[in-house]
Amino acid sequence: MIRVFPNGWKKTVGIVITMNNGSLFENGETEGFTHFAEHLMFSGTEKDTRYQLREKHDRFFHSLEARTSREEVSIFCLVDMSDVHEAIKTLYEMIFRWKCRSNIFEDEKQDLLQETRAYMRSTEHRQRKSVDTFLSIPQREILGNLPRLKKLQFSDVQKIKRYWNHLLQETPIDILLVGESVTKKHVVFCHNLFKTTKKHTKCTEWNMIKTEFVTKKNAHALVVSCTKKHPYLLFFGQLLDQRSQSLPSNADYTFAQFKHQTIFFVSGVQQASAKKFFLHPISVLEFNQTKQDFLQRFRRALDGIDATDSLLWLQGFRFETYADLPSENPLEIYKMFERMRYQDFARFVTSVKKN
């Protein structure tokens, strides 16, 4: 699926390629393979050694990075208008035809281990581990288990490659092109390269399954299970983030959205305080402040003021991610939030809490 958004960039084009499957695709034997394959995309291709690939990166890309999560692997980049075709060809080769040669395997492995160790020391990892205990999915490390990663040898590369090829066969791939200079030729070019990739399943409407208030140790979560993510749950997460500013300094709040579950999580407070935090009625003032901040961030993303933040926001509303959107056009989604009234949002949240 290919989507175009013509924001204010006239001389540059943002490209986001998202494989709609991540570490959740793994099992006990392949844990960490998704993240390792993401790294090996940068190690070289069937045509180019790592050195030659890096020369292309320097030539065609202003910025280039990849990210692995539970439900997706994404590549984000910014290129000059004149380099779009070459950049897309390079990205295609990296995704579908990466090749790791024996002389650089250990370098790639050490880079991977260093990144994984840093992540495991981070606040993000600590929060994610806490949130994971409330999920109805296998509890595995997104970036991989360090002891197992350390044992991987060059002889395992083909095993990782087979795993990656299988993931690609089972995974819809979305492409987002951002910029005023994106043309129909760019879209056709992308389509011709990626035309054999798996198609999306038919979009389902949003339906509630259940909402639970769950306590584990000193952590509490409001767990919303549904058929699809809903954009109002994203807004509710932002509202609770604003509300969390009044929590004690040792309290920790975060929220995470998955295809079929949204988790609102708080720790460092008593159960009664956590329930009040989640379930206290939303005031008009809270709603208006959150809406103002939310729209301001969304507007900055649409205007492309910060390239990285812009691509992240626009990629977040891609195909099949949320139900009940007015269209796939980010401007229409922005207008939906702009038109959102307090009464409608409060009614939605009340129905979620009572479910």
Cβ neighbours, 10 Å, residue 16: 19
The answer to whether 15 and 308 are in contact (CB under 8 A) is no
Predicted local confidence at residue 130, as pLDDT: 83
What dihedral do alpha carbons 164, 165, 170, 171 form, nearest 10°?
60
Give exposure, 18-53, as e/b (b: 16+ Cβ within 10 Å). bbbbbbbbbeeebbbbbbbbbbbbbbbbeebebeeb
Handedness of CA 333, 188, 6, 82 (dihedral sign): positive
Tell me the CATH architecture of domain 208-354: 2-Layer Sandwich (3.30)
**In the chain, which residues have pLDDT < 70?**
202-203, 355
Predicted local confidence at residue 202, as pLDDT: 66
The model carries a pTM of: 0.91
Q: How far apart are the C-alpha atoms of 314 and 309, rounded to whole Å?
A: 9
What is the CATH code for 2-194?
A: 3.30.830.10
CA 303, chain centre distance (Å): 20
Amino acid at 262: T
For residue 121, count CB atoms less than 10 angstroms from its CB and return exposed for 0-12, middle for 13-18, buried for 19 or more. Answer: exposed
- Which DSSP string do the residues of 225-280 spell out, in sequence order? EESSB-HHHHHHHHHHHHHGGGS-TT-EEEEEE-SSEEEEEEESS-HHHHHHHHHS
- Give pLDDT tens digits for 173-230: 999 999 999 999 999 999 999 887 777 776 678 888 999 999 987 889 999 999 889 9
241 token code pair = 């983030």
- In sequence order, the β-bridge partners of residue 68 are 73
Predicted local confidence at residue 8, as pLDDT: 84
The answer to whether 227 and 270 are in contact (CB under 8 A) is no
Domain boundaries, the chain: 2-194, 208-354
Angle between helices 231-243 and 271-279 (to 10 degrees): 130
- Which DSSP string do the residues of 92-111 spell out, in sequence order? HHHHHSB---HHHHHHHHHH
In percent, the amount of the chain with pLDDT more than 70 equals 99
Q: Which of 276, 129, 279 is nearest to 211 (CA)?
A: 279
- Fold identical between 2-194 and 208-354? yes
Predicted local confidence at residue 297, as pLDDT: 92
Q: How far apart are the C-alpha atoms of 140 and 13, rounded to whole Å?
A: 36
